[in-house]
Amino acid sequence: MSFSQLGLNAALLKAVAEQGYSTPSPIQQEAIPAILTGKDVLAAAQTGTGKTAGFSLPLLQRLADGPAVKANQVRALILTPTRELAAQVEENVSHYSRYLDLSSAVVFGGVGINPQMKRLRRGVDVLIATPGRLLDLYQQNAVKFNQLEVLVLDEADRMLDMGFIHDIKRVLKLLPQQRQNLLFSATFSDTVTTLAESITNSPVKISTAPANRTADDVEQYLVAVDKSRKVKALTALIKKHQWKQVLVFSRTKHGANRIASRLEGADIPAAAIHGNKSQGARTKALAAFKNGEIDVLVATDIAARGIDISELPIVVNLDLPNTAADYVHRIGRTGRAGASGQAWSLVSADELQQLKDIETLIQKLLPRQELEGYEPELKLAETTLSAPKKPKKPKVKKAGSASSGGPRKPRQGPSADGGRGQQQRRRRKPAGPKKPAVAQ
Ligand code: AMP
């Protein structure tokens, strides 16, 4: 199957070809034709499956045929849980729309609101936003939704995990009743399903991978180690394997800072990224990680959610997450889009229950590796595989496996702006390559 068989117009096909995509991923094969019909869509899709193009391409095609956007109006709204994800989605939208006369902009908190208000004055075809800042802008009359045609909720499960349900409900009340709704979520808990049911109308249901499946391409290892020696063991592992570009997960923000500074102390360039850091610091750390200035990025689950780094080779769980599903999200950061990767977990005796939960969820025992000199004094008990907990039936039909031909060649290397995207983009001429976006 090729992109041209999906009903996309020449301008989008050209932009997609320039991105180096040759074959649509399973989610794209399902979502693009469905969205082009104008129906609501409910999709179970993990990050790394090509979901962003899956909703952006048909959305842009629909907008290209409609009326010009008026002052302060928005024609398509994409809500995302994190600033980083918002910036990345906008970067993608901007690439895909380069040969269309459509504008895009991104708004999120943590940075000045005035440039965003100024940008919105001209109207925006596609606005990517985090919910809180969008509401602030609305309250200041900077954004209006009379022209809104499409709403996308990206990573809906994470938005609910992060407590955005009230903000989302507030936003929904502001939108016209008549609109197309697209909801993407990695997992479908009861709360996500309830939200989906309240938003969508007879949606087309799509799923590209069974819920809670771990990426087949990721090699997973466990090192049993005493809690107090975890950072030292991590340092030893990094040095032993000469790892570059390691994403380390910490359960807490405080822990993330501490780990990063201890790695720095051991001559391993590292930075922490979490919700307490200013947007500037987060963007800077991510850019430094992407362009190889630092080897290790230490992140909390929420901060890591929006990071798109192609072919990330190594993920380390310095703490096991409290929620087993987060383990799947974490290791999904590596081996993305068909690339191979490794996920290592440093597990202390007190984390036995989390380990059991994870192994039950993924239905696999994590292979244990010894790290010489770091054998634990407090032994981590052996585990056995228990029967899977009754899975929540995803109420979506299957469209094939994520490993059966997903995106093969993700964007290589860092983008010129470190993958951060720009805050605002000017309206562009229909043909010819885009001018660089101007942040205002
Ligand atoms: P996403 O799941 O949207 O975060 O996309 C994951 C990565 O796959 C991104 O780096 C995309 O640029 C890339 N990608 C998306 N669609 C394709 C495709 N059809 N072929 C190759 N790479 C793709």
- The residue assigned the tokens 């029967």 is 387
Which has more pLDDT, 123 or 425? Answer: 123
Q: What is the structure's pLDDT at 215?
A: 58
Q: Is the CB of 91 under 6 A from ligand 1?
A: no
Whether the CB of 50 sits within 6 Å of ligand 1: yes
Q: State whether the beta carbon of 26 lies less than 6 angstroms from ligand 1.
A: no
Q: Which residues contact 46 (CB under 8 A, 6 or more apart)?
A: 186, 208, 209, 332, 402
Average pLDDT over residues 78-94: 93
d(CA 87, CA 108): 9
Q: How far is CA 80 from the centre of its chain?
A: 9
Among 6, 336, 412, the mutation site with the greatest number of ligand 1 atoms within 8 A of its Cβ is 336
Q: Which atom of ligand 1 is nearest to the CA of 22?
A: 20
For residue 34, the SS3 value is helix
Q: Are 255 and 227 in contact (CB under 8 A)?
A: no
**Residue whose CB lies within 8 A of the most ligand 1 atoms, among 25, 32, 59, 206, for a mutation test:** 25
Pocket mutation for ligand 1, best pick of 21, 51, 184 (most atoms within 8 Å of C-beta): 21
Confidence of residue 409 (pLDDT cuts 50, 70, 90): very low
Ligand 1 centroid–CA 194 distance in Å is 29
The Å distance, Cα 56 to ligand 1 centre, comes to 12
Q: Which of 80-84, 299-303, 430-434 has the lowest mean pLDDT?
A: 430-434
pLDDT of residue 422: 35
Q: Is 13 in the pocket of ligand 1 (CB under 6 A)?
A: no
Kindly state if the Cβ of 410 falls inside 6 Å of ligand 1.
Answer: yes
For the chain, the average pLDDT equals 84
**Rounded to a whole number, what is the distance in angstroms from the first to the last CA of the chain?**
41
Atom number, ligand 1, closest to the C-alpha of residue 19: 12
Report whether residue 337 contacts ligand 1, using a CB cutoff of 6 Å. Answer: yes
The finding on whether 308 has its CB within 6 A of some atom of ligand 1 is yes
Residue 358 scores a pLDDT above 90: yes
Tell whether ligand 1 has an atom less than 6 A from the beta carbon of residue 272.
no
Cα–Cα distance, 165 to 44 (Å, whole number): 19
Contacts by 433-439, CB closer than 8 A, 24 or more apart: 433/98, 434/94, 434/98, 437/94, 439/115
- Rounded Cα distance, 26 and 89, in Å: 19
What's the CA gap between 196 and 190, in Å, rounded?
10
pLDDT in tens, 169-219: 999 999 999 999 999 998 888 889 999 999 999 999 998 754 444 556 688
Q: CB of 52 closer than 6 A to ligand 1?
A: yes
Answer whether 214's CB lies under 8 Å from 358's CB: no
Is there an atom of ligand 1 within 6 Å of 95 CB? no
Pull the structure tokens for residue 184.
């993407």
**DSSP-derived secondary structure letter, 366:** P
- CA 307 to ligand 1 center in whole angstroms: 13
Cβ of residue 310 lying under 6 Å from some atom of ligand 1: yes
- CA 19–ligand 1 middle distance (angstroms): 9
pLDDT at 275: 73
Least confident of 112-126, 342-356, 397-411: 397-411
Say how far apart CA 153 and CA 159 lie, in whole Å.
9
Q: How far is the centre of ligand 1, averaged over its atoms, from the C-alpha of 46 (Å)?
A: 11
Structure tokens at 202: 């007879």
For ligand 1, whether the C-beta of 361 sits within 6 Å is no
For ligand 1, is residue 255 a contact (CB within 6 Å)?
no
Ligand 1 atom nearest to 45, measured from its CA: 2
CA nearest ligand 1 atom 18, residue? 407
pLDDT at 281: 83
pLDDT-above-70 percentage for the chain = 83
In this structure, which amino acid lies at residue 313?
P
Highest mean pLDDT among 1-10, 116-125, 236-245, 423-432: 116-125
**Protein residue with its CA nearest to atom 4 in ligand 1:** 48
Listed residue (46, 31, 23) closest to 336, CA to CA: 46
Atom 13 in ligand 1: residue holding the nearest Cα: 410
pLDDT band at 363 (very low <50, low <70, confident <90, very high): confident
Burial 217-226 (b: 16+ CB within 10 A, else e): bbebebbbbb
Segment 32-45, tens digit of pLDDT: 999 999 999 999 88
Residue 362 has pLDDT above 90, yes or no: no
The CB of 415 under 6 Å from ligand 1? The reply is no
110 Cα–ligand 1 center, Å: 27
What is the rounded CA–CA span in Å between residue 223 and residue 232? 13
Residue that has been written with the tokens 């107090």 in this structure: 228
pLDDT in tens, 266-298: 999 999 988 777 777 888 888 898 888 999 999
Model confidence, pTM? 0.64
Q: pLDDT-derived band of residue 335, with 50, 70 and 90 as boundaries? A: low
> How many Å apart are CA 120 and CA 368, to the nearest integer?
53
Average pLDDT rounded to a whole number, residues 3-28: 92
Cβ of residue 74 lying under 6 Å from some atom of ligand 1: no
Residue 299's DSSP bridge partners are 249, 273
433 has pLDDT over 60: no
Q: How confident is the model at residue 397 (pLDDT cuts 50, 70, 90)?
A: very low
